Amino acid sequence: MPLSNESTYTINDIYALPEGERAELIDGKLYMMAPPSRLHQELVGELFTVIRNHIGKNGGSCKAYIAPFAVFLNENEKNYVEPDISVICDINKLNDKGCQGAPDWIIEIVSPSSQRMDYQIKLFKYRTAGVKEYWIVNPDTYTVTVYGFDNDFNSGQYSFKQKIQVGIYPELSIVIQDLL
């Protein structure tokens, strides 16, 4: 939920949050983040493990990160997100603070309180920032909505039972149900 304030927030406001509070910043609007559920964390952990193992086994140059990991979209002071999983293939975007610019692949696990953010606000923001692939995993509906912004290679909606080919790794397919 965005804070109801007419101010435009910056990354400094993110760093000024009290210990333990997390928020994301999109176009100067601050959105507080609720603690994740057990299933959310399980999905994030399992997906991250599959991706990281795939990169490692194939000698890939991309790096996978799990939230909380700072992504400074558009490289400005008004956009800061913490995707559940970020895969960055241009290591020049990485520094000690996080990723400066758009990751290649982002996965968000949606919760009832984050649906508007993940399906609308972040969808638009990630697409316009240059993210190549965006997955929205919905544990309530057992679906994965995939957006391939580069070439619509695998855009569509999938059930947890279906094999989903990863756009940035054509040799990798994931069946979410197999991870649970």
pLDDT in tens, the chain (180 residues): 455 455 789 999 999 999 989 999 999 999 999 889 999 999 999 999 999 999 999 988 899 999 999 999 987 889 999 999 999 999 999 999 999 999 999 999 999 888 888 999 999 999 999 999 999 999 999 999 999 987 767 789 999 999 999 999 989 999 999 998
pTM over the 0.75 mark: yes
Cis peptide preceding 170, ω within 30 of 0: no
Burial class (CB in 10 A: 0-12, 13-18, 19+), 155: middle
